[in-house]
Structure 1
Amino acid sequence: MSIKIAIIRDEPVFGERACETISKEFETEMFEVESPKGIFIDDIEISPSLIEKLAKFDLIITYIKQADMTLELIEQLHEKVSWIIVGVWRGEGFKKQLLKYKNVSVPDAMCELEGNKGNSVFKEFTEKFGKPDIKINCQGERIAEIDVIRGSPCGATDFMAKDMIGKEATDIDITAKKAGLRIQHYPCRGHKLRLFADEESHKQIASQLHHDAVKKALNENKKEK
């Protein structure tokens, strides 16, 4: 199966790296939409031609900050596409509204995505993108190769993997900690996607997820040796 993915945003700062990273594995296209100003607006209009274009995709990733625009888009598309991932959302109440649609994911961070939820499109996507999963090959005391099985859609996992090649790995805990700290140097925008969220907390979430992936991979490599 080869899925088609649409990324839709209402601000140019969002989605660029995700589009670049995801397009290496799947056919991906970026769409721009102009949201009305303000947090909540009574009347939302979305071009029928845009809905028609988006309906031809299998999976939609939204980076729309305007809450009512997000809701309206999902209302019009949830029966036309296989799955929708909401990358920008505000507050637990809004999250509950979004989750009433059975084919919608509302992750706290895009690098937390995992599981197939009984949907073949979502399964195929999360086999490549979401919660980091890597395989490490060590030669002697150093990391010789890292295979990114599943990585963050923003490219942070690839960034970390390239940086770790050649690094010493005699102490698994220290190496995993260094890998996690390296993620904090990647310009993560997770705090901007979760509106009003704390920047450091999102960096720590991403850092911990990658720390755990490296520690698991190093332990598996040790067992194989």
Structure 2
Amino acid sequence: MTNIGVIIRGKYGKRLIDTILSKTDLGVTFAEVPEHLPEFIDEPDEFLEGLHLDEKVFNTEILITYSLHPDLTYAIAKLAGRHGVRSLIVPGGASKAPVRELEQISQEYGMYIEVEDICCTLSEDPAICELTNKLSRPLLEITAHEGTVDEVKVIRGAPCGSTWHMAEGLRGLSLKEAPAKAGLLIQQYPCRAVRGNKGGIHESAQLHKDAVLKAIERTALKK
């Protein structure tokens, strides 16, 4: 069984752990960094050492860090490399991560590193496929009767769990209503993605709307 390491910070990362445990057969090990951190950390390695994290979180194949702080993320990435972590996922986007430094760490330790704004757009790279085959870009199956949604089966869903919330809300709707409703349900879900711009939660909503449309098309082809 693949074990996923998760470093949480405040509310960030907890919903991912819940989704992994409730929707997949993956294992989880986690550690927590303080919710409130200095704006700048002069000695990131020493600061991280002083947090006394449970280092079991680094004895995992894939590590996801919600540290959301460029200095601390840098130190976490180096420690992950030294422990032999195979892949590191950094949610929050480039504004929360030292991208150039992470590229250097990736090369030094041969560790796959992916920085993403939202985790439902994670790549399908083989280095993280044990996770992304189950949790990433939404993939659905829809059964319908007389133009009405009977059931929505989540083959692959967003790490925050929003896809399953959406799936429940589509039952009983007409196939014409379902795609637009899917986008609305995602935006109503308490996802941590950024709101108020073209990316973030709006991108996630569009991804789910598209996934519903594709599922409906496959349903029509089966008839």
Q: Same fold (TM over 0.5)?
A: yes
Q: What displacement does 1:166 show?
A: 1.7
CA offsets 1:19-53 (integer angstroms, 9 cap, x no match)? 10012211113311238843322212233963731
Cross-structure match for 1:56: 59
Q: Quick check: 1:182 aligned with 2:185? A: yes
Does structure 2 retain, via aligned residues, the 8 Å contact 1:85–1:105? yes
Does structure 2 retain, via aligned residues, the 8 Å contact 1:89–1:95? no
Q: What displacement does 1:92 show?
A: 8.8
Does structure 2 retain, via aligned residues, the 8 Å contact 1:67–1:89? no
Q: Which moved more, 1:106-115 or 1:86-95?
A: 86-95
Cross-structure match for 2:49: 47
CA 1:137/1:42 → structure 2, altered by over 3 Å: closer, same or farther? same
Q: What displacement does 1:16 show?
A: 1.4
Q: What displacement does 1:210 show?
A: 0.2
Q: Which moved more, 1:48-57 or 1:73-82?
A: 48-57
Match of 2:213 among 193, 212, 215: 215
Partner secondary structure for residue 81 of structure 1: coil
Counterparts of residues 146-165 of structure 1 (less than 5 Å): 146-165=152-171
Match of 1:111 among 109, 120, 127: 120
Q: What displacement does 1:91 show?
A: 2.6
Cross-structure match for 2:173: 167
Q: Which stretches of structure 1, 4 residues or more, deviate above 4 A after TM superposition?
A: 197-200
Does structure 2 retain, via aligned residues, the 8 Å contact 1:4–1:27? yes
Does structure 2 retain, via aligned residues, the 8 Å contact 1:14–1:63? yes
Identity of aligned residues (%): 30
Q: What displacement does 1:187 show?
A: 1.1
Q: TM-score, normalised by structure 2?
A: 0.86
Cross-structure match for 1:77: 80
Cross-structure match for 1:138: 144
CA offsets 1:49-99 (integer angstroms, 9 cap, x no match)? 637312321111110022111101101112511211101344398334324
Matched residues, number: 212
Report the Cα distance in structure 1 between the residues aligned to 2:68 and 2:95, rounded to whole angstroms: 12
Cross-structure match for 2:5: 6
AA matched with 1:190: A
Q: Quick check: 1:67 aligned with 2:70? A: yes
Report the Cα distance in structure 2 between the residues aligned to 1:203 and 1:82, rounded to whole angstroms: 29
